[in-house]
Amino acid sequence: MKLYKKLTIINTILGITVCIIILLIYFFINSLIGIPLLGLFLGGTILHVFIVLLINLAGIVSIFYFKNTRIVGIALIIYGTLVLATATFFGIPGFILFVIAGIIALKEKQVVKESK
């Protein structure tokens, strides 16, 4: 498996795990309160968590769906920028790993198989 795929898988698994933990804590605290009052204060934050979750899912799907490493590299850099914009300073580790994986994917040589 290529290095950019390994970095992306590690990054997305960590991102998805953190997002799920945040959502579970939110729903647990919200169930203790009894009314969705917490949504008034943290509704925007939960929306950001869902967006980061979708970005991580898109990252893991794109490394296996696209065969062109140039497209994957550009997509990973875009995903990193979106994570940084969405999660602010909490998204810095995800941003760094996505950008490093994207740069490695851009530098990857395309292997063209000749058909006979």
| Per-residue confidence in pLDDT tens, the chain, 116 aa | 889 999 999 999 999 999 999 989 888 887 787 666 666 777 778 889 999 999 999 999 999 999 899 999 999 999 999 999 998 888 999 999 999 999 999 998 776 566 66
Write down the pLDDT at residue 103: 95
- CB atoms closer than 10 angstroms to residue 113: 5
32-61 core/surface letters (b: 16 or more CB in 10 A; e: else) = eeeeeebeeebeeebebbebbbebbebbbe
Using CB atoms within 10 Å of the CB of residue 110, give its burial: 0 to 12 exposed, 13 to 18 middle, 19+ buried. Answer: exposed
Write down the pLDDT at residue 77: 96
One-letter amino acid at 22 equals I
Write down the pLDDT at residue 58: 95
